[in-house]
A and B are shown apart, each in its own frame.
Chain A
């Protein structure tokens, strides 16, 4: 056994309670250095025996510990009841920041990203809030700017421009309801400008072909005409402005659907026969596809008809240039169709009684209806009435060429109710499709 082994043996003996004297007695050959080591270990062991806390200290520390533990348990119990199981937004954010800190990417990219997100969010919020802004409102320029930005991307998009026109019209309606007639005029002027732009674009065959086959522009324009008619009733002092808007909408409607859509400004007026053709056969139905019926009843202040519009004669109605309604002299399309009236206007149902006077040329020509009215629902006014007006007749939106099997006439026409004295505003009525 060498010196180190003896030393280890003695150290182990000391750790287990043996005395230094017993070890020295057992191994007298130990060196001075080993003896010093053993003496140090013995002192250490002896000190460990004496260094013991008194009971008061242990009770004191125990009491402190129990108080701290109780407080800790109470603190943990409250969040456990109130906090949801999933980490909250704050905890997730802290975890994200902690992860970012550990990634070593630095704070500048994170700050830039957060600033970008903040700007985009605020911008989107402002633009969203500006959607309902009216002219004169602080956010209205933002609304127009947003529209202009989108217009750049949708330069040749007719639907987008019609949507823009709808925005201006909606603004005009809201301004009218608020009594702000002057600003309403501005909104309507903007509406007309947009529709003029649409009309210009429609001369491009590519654009025209892309949109003419769609039904949505027609629906938008018809809705706008309806809104304008209502607006005209609400703002009689701004008839001229509203009428310009009506003409613009009607013009676009005719451009888009030249064979189907009657417009007050493009079709010659039709004379109204005093004797309503009640029960008389009407032009055959061109197609089975139902379509809404547009009734426009302009007054004397309506825009003048186009130069091609011929004043009606008392006896011979003038067919429109685009429509191909049966004339009195035209043969009936089918042998089975009822006999055509000899002096019947092209439209299925006459709306205005009495022959128009020479001083009040008709404003528009009623095109033939696709769904001929079987039984007129109105009574012609008395012959003594002097309505300067209404030469407008109802018409269906999509007149089609006569078919060999004409459908029975349907009551699609709405008769003018009052044609005397105060001039009636033009009304645009969407009639339900004929069955």
Chain B
């Protein structure tokens, strides 16, 4: 993040901590894409992705008083999203499976999906999402932050609560598992 953007972000964070909703809106616009991608690759329902994305920023607003400015704001958002996705997966587990949710969600959708929904439903994305479900939550977060947002190990370490050296090993193992899951799909495709 450029220095100017980082300086602006610190200002907005401070203003948001003082109750400035507009400053928080700027933080939202700066990081919503990354959070959306992070969730979209792990949640099979478009509507569900939107709900969770909104919930991540809502919880960030509620807890922004406790945010420590020395940490990257995006990583703090990732941590919130990480916990939300895990809890959501547990709830989905109780409701049998994500697939049922997806079917139900699709049934409720318009018969003519939006371009975004079309993208969301693209086969390679679906395959990647399905392969990601075989990874642990930490592995999913690690790969998402590494290859979606270009985060370093040092950035990811506080989000996952692990040492940077351990993350290198974890990334290697996660990519190996992901490649193993994607190989037969590619063959079939």
Q: Let me know if A44 is at the binding interface, CB within 8 A.
A: yes
Assess whether A62 is in contact with B21, with CB atoms less than 8 Å apart: no
CB neighbours (8 Å) of B98 from chain A are none
On chain B, the number of residues with a Cβ less than 8 Å from chain A's Cβ atoms is: 46
Query: Cβ of A47: which chain B residues have Cβ within 8 Å of it?
Result: 41, 124-125, 128
Is A61 touching B53 in the complex (CB atoms < 8 A)? yes
- The A-contacting residues of B in range 25-59, CB under 8 angstroms, are 25, 28-29, 32-33, 36-37, 40-41, 50, 53-54, 57-58
Which residues of B lie under 8 Å from residue A4 when comparing CB positions?
172
Task: Kindly state the separation between the CA atoms of A331 and B144 in the bound complex, as whole angstroms.
Answer: 126
**A39-54 contacts to B (CB < 8 Å):** 39-41, 43-45, 47-48, 50-54
Cβ-defined contact, A33 with B176, below 8 A: yes
Query: Shortest CB–CB separation between residue B115 and chain A, in angstroms?
Result: 7
Residue B183 CB within 8 A of the other chain = yes
Residue contact A50 to B175, C-beta cutoff 8 Å? no
Q: How many residues of A contact B (CB 8 A)?
A: 36
**Which chain A residues lie closer than 8 Å to B176 at the CB level?**
33, 37
Evaluate whether A72 and B179 lie within 8 angstroms (CB atoms) in the complex, with A43-B124, A52-B36, A53-B33 already known. no
- List the A residue with the shortest CB-CB distance to B120: A51
The CA-CA distance from A393 to B131 in the complex, in Å, is: 119
Chain A-chain B contacts (Cβ-Cβ < 8 Å), number? 109
Tell me whether B147 and A44 are in contact (CB under 8 A). Answer: yes
Verify if A114 is at the interface (C-beta below 8 Å from B). Answer: no
Contact of A54 with B115 in the complex, beta carbons under 8 Å: yes
User: Nearest chain-A residue to B131 (Cβ)?
Assistant: A40
B-chain residues with CB within 8 Å of residue A62 when the two chains form the complex? 25, 28-29, 32
Which residue of A is nearest B128, CB measured?
A: A47
**Residues 120-137 (chain B) with a chain A CB within 8 angstroms:** 120, 122, 124-125, 128, 131
Q: In B85-122, which residues have CB < 8 Å from any A CB? A: 114-116, 119-120, 122
Chain A residues, Cβ within 8 Å of B58: 65, 68
Cβ proximity bits A235-256 to B, threshold 8 Å, 1 near / 0 not: 0000000000000000000000
Contact A44 B143 (CB under 8 A): yes
Instruction: Please tell me if the beta carbons of B25 and A66 are within 8 angstroms of each other in the complex.
Output: yes
A14 at the interface (CB under 8 A from B): yes
Min distance, Cβ A25 to any Cβ of chain B, angstroms: 20
| Distance, CA A53 to CA B56, complexed state (A) | 15
**Does the CB pair A53–B175 fall under 8 Å?**
no
1/0 per residue A18-42: CB within 8 Å of B? 0000000000000001001101110
Q: List 9 A-B contacts (CB under 8 A).
A: A36-B183, A37-B175, A40-B182, A41-B143, A44-B178, A54-B115, A57-B50, A62-B25, A66-B25
